[in-house]
Structure 1
Amino acid sequence: MMKRLRYACLFLLTLSACAQTPAVQEKGEWIQLFNGKDLKDWDIKIAKHDLNDNFGNTFRVEDGLLKIRYDQYKDFDDQYGHIFYKKKFSAYLVAVEYRFTGEQVPGGPGWAIRNNGVMLHCQSAGSMGKHQDFPISLEMQLLGGNGTDPRTTANLCTPGTNVVMNGKLITDHCISSTSKTYNGDAWVRAEALVLGDSIVKHIVEGDTVLTYTQPQIGGGSVSHFEPALKQDGKLLKEGYIALQGESAPTDFRKVELFNLEPYMKDPAALSRVLQELQQRDTSTAGKEE
């Protein structure tokens, strides 16, 4: 049985050394990273193309949705794409509501069927090499069911990164979550709770399905990067957020973020805010179709 979302307990231990400050008075608000109208706050980087060359109109806004489409491609040809929000963050809860739709583009790899992701603590779009396939980042991998096999979502993949789980450095490229399989074109809400370089949780429909700590640069599974940027062992304290285009048509109807950085020096305020977010999350999970 999956555990219900419990934000405060584990990561407050990582904040025990923080200085106490007066309680934060401001009421935090969700920031809508995707405004439902256009992509003016986003940068696009597609492998084999220059920065902000939106080849094939891969990333587009139609009907109030941020869509990833390949109808203008003849062949995928390893043209992995990512769209980056222009501001970086350190401590936050980011949420997406997504669905897979349509057929994979010809030439897409077999492992990428109904497969995309949300990239956390990314390097910037502008720092990627022209032929670089993936940003150095933590990927909250989004998977849709194939109708045959169990396929959990909100897994972890690690292009150019490693993490720690249960006190052990994990160098495997992908780690499965404990989520159920989501078949068809149902909307799914996935969230990532990221507290700097301390702890990260992946959450699906209100359930915590994966937890890890100490995100850091390292490992492989990324090519054509600038060597100076891959400082293995360096903890990832902040970065950009990107949505992935990995050959599977995908819709996003919501991309939103709650900035937790103002609360990081006040454990009591952080605990209060996270409890409020938990209540919101559990009360809305699975209700919106």
Structure 2
Amino acid sequence: MQASKTKYLNILFFTITLLIVISCKEKQPKKLEVDEEKSENEWTAIFNGKDLSGWTMKINGYPLAENFGNTFRVEDGILSIRYDEYGPELGERFGALFYDKVLTNYRLKVEYRFVGETAAGAPEWGYRDSGVQIHTQPPNTVKLNQRFPICLEYNLHGGNGVDERPLGAICGIGTHVEIDGVKSTSSCTPARVARTFHGDQWVIVEIDVNEGKMKHFVNGEEIMSYSNPTYNPENEYAKAFIKNGNDSVKSGYISFQSNSHPIDFRKIELLEY
């Protein structure tokens, strides 16, 4: 009789416990509903893989938005920069492709690869050279015959298969930055961590911009940091942006260089803070 009573109490306890668990689960929000809520920190693709909507080009010697030589093109979901329609000489027809939005605090992620041969007549430094530019001046303020826009540049290099040729330097075009709290007046400062990538492999670069502090990453590894960018008053174009003695560079556009070597970009994503 005692064993039967114990068995009955165990079954009753199990049933009550099960009912409590089921009731609690029903009160919890469904996971699907939580996942559908838009996160405040969400990556956004800013290249649609179809065309250049949302982007504007400026090539030295040509009016804003004139895509001379079909320099910037979209093929097979890839943003390509090419020089095959330039004729026998590249000249100084350097350019940039601007994303049409002013940005302040954000993280940019880009996948790129160098391909093909350097354009005929390119400068010696143009071999597998390009750049991702941040805090770039507004595209409509770039002068007709201005070689490069005022900006901070994450310098992109590609190896020749043998020699070390690291990427990731910070190049100030009309700008200065602080490195370890000291203002650098060098045009380019190499990355602290040297990484060279040979061939046509895809490489992921990221730039983090947060309250005047910048960091460069490659394939998830931090390789460079700097801060407090300012306009160079000795640069004929940069000095126009110094207002009432304030030379700080607080925001600007994202842009991609067209220098002299064919390059592809894909998965261009932005995370705004």
**TM-score, structure 2 normalization:** 0.81
**Could you say which residue in structure 1 is the equivalent of 2:74?**
61
Candidates 207, 220, 240, aligned match of 1:206: 220
User: 1:255: Cα distance to partner?
Assistant: 1.0
Q: In 2, distance between residues paired with 1:128 and 1:139?
A: 16
Candidates 88, 108, 115, aligned match of 1:94: 108
**Could you say which residue in structure 1 is the equivalent of 2:91?**
77
SS in structure 1 opposite 2:69? Answer: helix
Select the structure of larger CA radius of gyration: 2
**Could you say which residue in structure 2 is the equivalent of 1:194?**
209
**Could you say which residue in structure 2 is the equivalent of 1:44?**
57
* 1:217 is aligned to 2:231: yes
Question: Which residue identity is paired with 2:162?
Answer: T
Q: In 1, distance between residues paired with 2:208 and 2:49?
A: 23
Mapping 1:235-250, distance limit 5 Å: 235-250=248-263
**Could you say which residue in structure 2 is the equivalent of 1:125?**
139
CA 122–58 in structure 1, closer or farther in 2 if over 3 Å, else same: same
SS in structure 1 opposite 2:173? Answer: coil
Contact 2:103 2:252 in 1 (8 A): yes
CA 233–169 in structure 1, closer or farther in 2 if over 3 Å, else same: farther
Q: In 1, distance between residues paired with 2:109 and 2:102?
A: 15
User: 1:159: Cα distance to partner?
Assistant: 0.5
Q: In 1, distance between residues paired with 2:253 and 2:120?
A: 30
* 1:229 is aligned to 2:244: no
Q: In 2, distance between residues paired with 1:160 and 1:187?
A: 30
Indicate the RMSD between aligned Cα atoms, in angstroms: 1.7
User: 1:228: Cα distance to partner?
Assistant: 2.1
Listed as ranges, the gaps of 5+ residues in structure 1 are: 1-24, 261-289
Q: In 2, distance between residues paired with 1:26 and 1:66?
A: 28
SS in structure 1 opposite 2:112? Answer: strand
Question: Which residue identity is paired with 2:57?
Answer: I
**Could you say which residue in structure 1 is the equivalent of 2:27?**
none
Q: In 2, distance between residues paired with 1:40 and 1:27?
A: 24
* 1:147 is aligned to 2:141: no
Contact 1:128 1:226 in 2 (8 A): no
Q: In 1, distance between residues paired with 2:202 and 2:145?
A: 32
**Could you say which residue in structure 2 is the equivalent of 1:180?**
195
Q: In 1, distance between residues paired with 2:242 and 2:130?
A: 23
Corresponding residue pairs, total: 233
**1:137-179 deviation per Cα after TM superposition (whole angstroms, max 9, x unaligned):** 1000111002232111121111000000112110100111113
Percentage of pairs with the same residue: 41
Q: In 1, distance between residues paired with 2:232 and 2:196?
A: 30
